[in-house]
Amino acid sequence: MNIYEKKQRWKFILLFAAVMIGTGSLYYTNRLVKTIAADERKRIELWAEATEFLANPDPLGNDVLQFFLTVLENNTQIPVILSDADGNVMASRNLDSTRLNQEAYLLESLEKMKDENDSIVIDIGNNNFQYLYYRNSNLLRKLAAFPYFQLGVIILFILVSYIAFSISRKAEQNKVWTGLTKETAHQLGTPISSLSGWVEILKQTGADPSTVKELEKDSQRLVKIADRFSKIGSKPALKETDIIRIIKTSSSYITSRRGKSYRFHTDLPATPVIVPVNETLLDWVIENLCKNALDAMEGVGDLTIRCEVGEKNVVIDVEDTGRGVPKSRFNTIFKPGYTTKKRGWGLGLSLTKRIIESYHNGKIFVLTSEPGIKTVFRILLPAVNRK
């Protein structure tokens, strides 16, 4: 399991933990709500008994009468409505005092109470009945909504934490990229200068010209590589350049060193395509994509590079007939350290993405992939507006 699969698994674990916390909270609070609701119903039933007693007084004395009056008065939280058998409102308590004279408001409140709780029947004697309706108290309703609020807070916390972590990680990666590339370019400087000096000495001492020529090519190649790394370490300057020339130069360098078992095709405009780019870095991008394509074909296949000019973007497609990329890995392959090779650091496509998107304001992505048939990497670069 690679680092990205582990990271993905931890994300799911954190999400699952948050859901479990929210679910546990919801379960506990619902149990608490049911307990409080049962307690409130008992209170209303007691309130109903007090009402029934007052409707049918018996000679138990003033103390008992005072007790039931106290029961009625102590209900300061639970909204109640007392109605007759025909549904007419006879009395109410704990409703909006400013709207008690509005019949529509009383009827609306009565319907809500009927939907929320079963009525309590009060026998007032002589086969006459009244009905007591009630709603849950404001405290109970707030408590019922609390777990959903709590779950939302947990999810928001995880989301904010994830965003903050991602931003921090990206900033850290940027610092690592900058430090690594600058240090690499610096470290290459001394051996490159030494190698160039030896090439000049060999020329003057009459060494084999073919050997000197190959050494000179390698020296120039190292200079080019050092220049690439130095530009990655800072914001490179963009210059309007013919990218068709860059594509041809870069791709021909790679394909000429990979044998004749590969077939190389191009579908490029006959006229120059001018785009603001950094030539050194775009050359590196094309080279990386061609290297990956040839590695994916493992000895034989077709490599095709296309270029089209649209209204807003210049489109570059690099297509191969290699082993393909699983759809689930379309984004992962551009992350630092991801590689399917036994040897390699997994930085090529990550550098490519950084060059295209961070430095050229473009896009790079896997357009499509069918193992053994074709895989297409697409680059979108902003077109030059000539109007």
Question: How far is residue 344's CA from residue 227's CA, in Å, rounded to a whole number?
Answer: 21
Q: Please determine, looking at this structure, whether the domain spanning 3-136 carries the CATH number 2.30.30.
A: no
The domains spanning 3-136 and 237-382 adopt the same CATH topology:
no
Least confident stretch, 57-66, 92-101, 231-240, 377-386: 57-66
pTM of the predicted protein model: 0.53
* 233-248 tens-digit pLDDT: 667 889 999 999 999 8
Max mean pLDDT among 17-21, 34-38, 177-181, 265-269 falls in 265-269
Of 205 and 254, the one with more pLDDT: 205
Spatial neighbors of 33 by CB under 8 A, at least 6 apart, are 140, 143, 144
d(CA 2, CA 84): 73
Q: How confident is the model at residue 186 (pLDDT cuts 50, 70, 90)?
A: low
Q: What is the rounded average pLDDT of the residues 268-293?
A: 90
pLDDT at position 94 over 70: yes
pLDDT tops 70 at residue 369: yes
Higher pLDDT, 60 or 282: 282
**What pLDDT shows up at residue 306?**
94
Kindly state the average pLDDT of the residues 182-200.
Answer: 77
CA 102 to chain centre: 51
Residue 53 has a CB neighbour count (10 Å cut-off) of: 18
Give residue 106's pLDDT band: very low, low, confident or very high (50, 70, 90).
confident
Reply yes or no on whether the pLDDT at 68 is more than 60: no
Q: Which CATH class is domain 237-382?
A: alpha beta
- Does 64 have pLDDT greater than 50? no
* pLDDT for residue 335: 79
Structure confidence at residue 80 (pLDDT): 79
| From 93-97, 203-207, 317-321, the region with the lowest mean pLDDT | 93-97
Residue 125 pLDDT exceeds 90: no
The pLDDT value recorded for residue 34 is 75
For CA atoms 93, 95, 101, 103, the dihedral sign is: negative
Helix (H/G/I), strand (E/B), else coil: 376: strand
Q: Using a pLDDT cut of 90, give the percent of the chain over it.
A: 14
Kindly state the average pLDDT of the residues 97-102.
Answer: 76
CA angle 205, 207, 213 (to 5 degrees): 120
User: Per-residue b/e over 150-165, b at no fewer than 16 CB within 10 Å?
Assistant: ebeebeeeeeeeeeee
CA dist list (Å): 156 to 10, 15, 62, 153, 281: 18, 11, 58, 5, 40
> CA-to-CA distance for 350 and 284, rounded, in angstroms?
12
192 vs 369, higher pLDDT: 369
Mean pLDDT within 137-160 = 73
Least confident of 102-111, 148-157, 278-287, 351-360: 148-157
Integer Cα distance of 313 and 372 in angstroms: 29
> Contact, 78 vs 44, CB < 8 A?
yes
Please state, for a pLDDT cut of 70, what percent of the chain lies above it: 75
What is the rounded CA–CA span in Å between residue 363 and residue 12?
28
Q: What mean pLDDT do residues 209-233 have?
A: 78
Q: Hey, where are the domains in the chain?
A: 3-136, 141-218, 237-382
Q: 286-331 pLDDT, tens per residue?
A: 988 988 888 888 878 889 999 999 888 999 999 999 888 888 888 8
- Give per-residue pLDDT as tens, 21-55: 777 777 777 777 777 777 666 666 666 666 666 56
What's the whole-number average pLDDT of the chain?
A: 77
pLDDT score recorded for residue 67: 47
pLDDT of residue 246: 92
